[in-house]
Amino acid sequence: MELFDDFSRPLEYISPLDKHFRHVLRKTLEREVISVRRRFDEDWKDHHLIEPAFDRLMGELGLQKALFPQEYGGWGLARSDYFFRIGYMLCEEMGRADTGMAVALAVTFWPLLVILLEPYENERLIREFAPMFCNTRKAVFAANAMTEPQGGSDIENMGLLKGRTIQTTARLDGDEWVINGHKLWPTNSGGVSKLFGVPCTTKPGSTDTLDFAFIYVPAHLKGVTQGNPYEKAGMAADKNGDIWFDEVRVPSWYRAHGPGRDAEAFYQLISIGQVMSVAFMTGAMLNLYERLFEFVSTRTYGNRPLKENDAVAGIIGRIAGDIDICRILGHEAAMIGDRRNKPFGRSIISEDVVGKIRNIKDFVSDRTVEVFGKAMDVLGHYGADRDWDIEKHWRDVKIIQLWMGGKQLCQMEAARYYFNCETL
Amino acid sequence: MNLDELFLAPGRPGGDDEGNVVALVRQFTEKEILGKRLDYLNDYPRLFQDRLQKLAHDIGLQRLAMTEEDGGFGWCLPEHAGGVLEVLTEVGRADASAGVLFSMNYALPFSATLDRDQAAPFLSDRLALTSVILPGPGFAGEISPLFHGRSVLARVRRTDAGAVLNGRTMRPLAGGFMADQYAAVCTDDDGRTCLALVPGSAKGIVKGPALLTTGLNACTNCDITFENVQIHAGNVFSTPGIAEALSSWLSLFLGGVSLGAGLNLFEILSTWCETRVIKGSGLLKENPLCAAVLADVAEELAVTKLLLGNLADILSSAGGRQDTARMFAYAGMIGARVQQSVMKAINRGLELMGSAGYAKEWHAEKHWRDVKTIQSLLCGMGAEAPTKMDTARFFFACSQI
């Protein structure tokens, strides 16, 4: 194999935009991120190094406006037939450089997709929020404030709980929504975001999705308090913290769509988030392959390059094989998403698409965590050394396995679909 | 929570002295480290040094493996392997970095008989740290002497004045940047594998920059180069099998450290799943899927403790330095297995804890990073492949691999 790009992906799935977009993006990432990423861990709180890199990518290159329609200054990608596949490419390239930066960018898109993705477009809100992202050369972040203290990722278990456990409330008072609640761990919290998408309930304890509301809350409003970022094992480019909403008032039309459609539009985010999570991981694994290739070619066992020893070759062969399979699966997951509006496709909020994509994400997560752990062992005395980059990815990808309900929710969603379970 | 009652050990007649020392270490670490986790985390460099000093001198762990004649506890004989293992498990439960530093110190006297001068640093009031340099990966295009397939990068030449050591860009297991002495596996003029004890202050030691590493962050490491380093002739130990013995004892001791970290993860997880609910109501631990994950955690740790206890018995009864081939095979095999088991336990635990497991506040992630670092270090390179070759050589008399 000549290049890591030769890892398999179904070529008939690839967007015409892929080659050139990927080239520009890769060049920018190598210059702005890969060259400095080994110092990111110490920069977790201040983002002195990380923020300028975000500015180059999101502001100057313009990634943050990619989803907005062209008439509002964006690139119009949310309306593309290739939305999932272009997103996959973007997240894979970002993941190769730094999965923390990748998730911070992707999560900026996440709450906006509730109003950007057909058939759930909200023209008025697009017009309202587009200038915030499109009329600047500085990075601007958004966050999806979902997780709550009492129940971890229960909120992402919409298929079963239908919002029953949500304790963040929205009360209509005249022409304003009044928000109260406590969220924790959103990507791009910790003082980073200018805009929050907030899943809340209009009737606590209800299992009727008509009572689920998705409401946008600008971060500067009175009553919004953000805690300091948490210190974590990795993912330094992604800040996470607590957010409190105390009698926060927003215009009534900041609700995404209204009863029923809010839950549907929000539920799309689960499959989108899972597909892009897979892309982060395959991107990181492509970089693993690059670094591992160098190590096993230049270091020896029995005075021969490690890769020429049959037993070691058995291990690194399996690693490369897993990367190849995961990349194929990732592209298949993206294609499932892009078939959503086709006659032979299924809605991304249907039980089968949610189940199948959760299943792929769970499978790829397990393989990724295992592959990185094994690669560190192949490096042995050098496995924990930051200069080889693999340990950074190892720390970063673990949280991808854990987020959005983690492994167990993936297993439940898959069982629910494949075995028609009714009570899980 | 009584970890001793939950996680059983193979029956081993440990004396009262051993029990008292283990209890003392547990009492200290619970009060000064585990009981003050957040302070410890927030002021780690200072508090680590303070606690390490206290463990080394107030509790006396620095003298643990020195002979009684020299003023130590006398736990340098194979029959004390189980006692040392328990001590290191207790230290690892509090902080794996401290456990790794003590492990390297203890592996030396368990592998070689130290004279009074060589033992002196461990009996002083100063903290004495030994950094071990084991054979590892070689460099492509260079031919190195081999130790069971691994490259030995240090070479010792005997001279009239003693011995001279050379070796380029070697990676110690841990603590290379801060070591008071190095225990380096090397080869002599006749190609025999031996062990050189090199004072950290010796001329000709060139240290690379301090490395940033996944875990064991208090054991600052760096690459080491020996440029014509002169040492006393007595600092070169040529007993056949000495490198195998050193490696074997490290497998046992570092297994104990990782087990300790895993047991603390078990405690953290137990607390966590008592307070978390799933699906809006039931306790997380009462959900069958989550309970199955919890069972995995317990099973891996329970099996690890049994395996390590048995390995300690095997190393004791093997006569220590007399039966190095069997020691090496069993210690490598079990050493690798227990690291895998503890990593699996911690990984499964983190799966349940989700983001809480990933945040530094809960301390689970530190155990995850530390144990992974230990596991990779013990591999040397090539993941499990070199140890598999050692195992195959012992059990199937392979001679060409």
Asked if the structure places residue B401 within a domain, the reply is: no
Taking the CA of residue B218 and the nearest CA in chain A, the distance in Å comes to 14
Determine the average pLDDT of the residues in B213-232. 97
pLDDT at residue B322 tops 70: no
Encoding tokens for residue B330? 């069993």
Q: How confident is the model at residue B93 (pLDDT cuts 50, 70, 90)?
A: very high
CB-CB under 8 Å, B386 with A233: no
CB-CB under 8 Å, A309 with B150: no
CB-CB under 8 Å, A231 with B360: yes
Nearest chain A residue to B279, by CA: A154
Q: Alpha-carbon dihedral of residues B190, B195, B200, B206, nearest 10 degrees?
A: 50
Determine the average pLDDT of the residues in A150-166. 73
Q: Which residue segments constitute the domains of chain A, with CATH numbers given?
A: 4-141 (1.10.540.10), 143-261 (2.40.110.10), 262-418 (1.20.140.10)
ipTM comes to 0.96
CB-CB under 8 Å, A395 with B214: yes
Evaluate if pTM is beyond 0.90.
yes
The letter for the amino acid at B115 is: D
CB-CB under 8 Å, A385 with B358: no
Nearest chain A residue to B209, by CA: A387
Tell me how far apart the alpha carbons of residues B56 and B50 are, in angstroms, rounded to a whole number: 10
Q: How confident is the model at residue B370 (pLDDT cuts 50, 70, 90)?
A: very high
Taking the CA of residue A350 and the nearest CA in chain B, the distance in Å comes to 21
Do B218 and B260 belong to one domain? no
CB-CB under 8 Å, B151 with A408: no
Residue that terminates a domain, selected from B99, B128, B157: B128
pLDDT at residue B34 tops 60: yes
pLDDT at residue A132 tops 70: yes
The letter for the amino acid at A355 is: G
Do B148 and B178 belong to one domain? yes
Determine the average pLDDT of the residues in A292-297. 98
Nearest chain A residue to B353, by CA: A402
**Residue B358 is part of a domain; what is its CATH number?**
1.20.140.10
Could you count the other beta carbons within 10 Å of the beta carbon of residue A274?
29
Do B161 and B112 belong to one domain? no
Taking the CA of residue B368 and the nearest CA in chain A, the distance in Å comes to 9
- CB-CB neighbors (< 8 A) of A161 in chain B: 279-280
Do B371 and B247 belong to one domain? yes
The tens digit of pLDDT for each residue in B176-187 reads: 999 999 999 999
B150 → closest Cβ in A301, A312, A383? A301
pLDDT value for A165: 86
pLDDT value for B13: 59
CB-CB under 8 Å, A384 with B372: yes
Asked if the structure places residue B338 within a domain, the reply is: yes
Phi (first) and psi of residue A171, to 5 degrees: -120, 130
Query: Which position has the token pair 């202050």?
Result: B201
Q: Which residues contact residue B77 at a Cβ distance below 8 angstroms, ignoring those fewer than 6 apart? A: B320
Helix (H) or strand (E) holding B162: strand B162-170
Tell me how far apart the alpha carbons of residues A287 and A293 are, in angstroms, rounded to a whole number: 10
Taking the CA of residue A392 and the nearest CA in chain B, the distance in Å comes to 8
The letter for the amino acid at A413 is: E
The tens digit of pLDDT for each residue in B114-170 reads: 999 999 999 998 999 999 999 999 999 999 999 999 999 999 999 999 999 999 999
DSSP B85: H
Number of compact structural domains in chain B? 3
Asked if the structure places residue B109 within a domain, the reply is: yes
CB-CB under 8 Å, B357 with A402: yes
| A402 touching chain B per CB within 8 A | yes
Indicate the pairing of strand B181-187 with strand B130-133: parallel
| A125 touching chain B per CB within 8 A | no
Max CA pair span of chain A: 78
- CB-CB neighbors (< 8 A) of B361 in chain A: 230-231
pLDDT value for A42: 96
What is the domain extent for residue B55? 3-128
| A301 touching chain B per CB within 8 A | yes
A303 → closest Cβ in B138, B351, B359? B138
Phi (first) and psi of residue B190, to 5 degrees: -90, 5
Strand partners of residue B207: B224
Residue that terminates a domain, selected from B216, B237, B258: B237
A381 → closest Cβ in B139, B369, B377? B377
CB-CB under 8 Å, B382 with A376: no
Do B278 and B332 belong to one domain? yes
Tell me how far apart the alpha carbons of residues A338 and B336 are, in angstroms, rounded to a whole number: 45
**Contact assessment for residue B339 and residue B374, using Cβ atoms and an 8 Å cutoff:** yes
pLDDT at residue A156 tops 80: no
Do B103 and B137 belong to one domain? no
Q: How confident is the model at residue B321 (pLDDT cuts 50, 70, 90)?
A: low
| A376 touching chain B per CB within 8 A | yes
The tens digit of pLDDT for each residue in A350-396 reads: 988 999 999 999 999 999 999 999 999 999 999 999 999 999 999 99
Taking the CA of residue B45 and the nearest CA in chain A, the distance in Å comes to 15
Do B230 and B350 belong to one domain? no
Encoding tokens for residue B68? 């009684």
A309 → closest Cβ in B140, B151, B382? B382
Query: Which position has the token pair 């498990």?
Result: B89
Strand partners of residue A199: A214
| A406 touching chain B per CB within 8 A | yes
Q: Name the percent of chain B lying above pLDDT 90.
A: 86
**Residue B165 is part of a domain; what is its CATH number?**
2.40.110.10
Across chain B, mean pLDDT equals 94
Encoding tokens for residue B128? 């004495």
Asked if the structure places residue B356 within a domain, the reply is: yes
The tens digit of pLDDT for each residue in A50-78 reads: 999 999 999 999 999 999 999 999 999 99
Tell me how far apart the alpha carbons of residues A352 and A263 are, in angstroms, rounded to a whole number: 17
Nearest chain A residue to B361, by CA: A231
Residue that terminates a domain, selected from B105, B128, B151: B128
The tens digit of pLDDT for each residue in A247-287 reads: 999 999 999 999 999 999 999 999 999 999 999 999 999 99
pLDDT at residue A416 tops 90: no
Query: Which position has the token pair 């635990």?
Result: B349
A150 → closest Cβ in B143, B215, B277? B277
Helix (H) or strand (E) holding A112: helix A99-116
Tell me how far apart the alpha carbons of residues B349 and B367 are, in angstroms, rounded to a whole number: 11
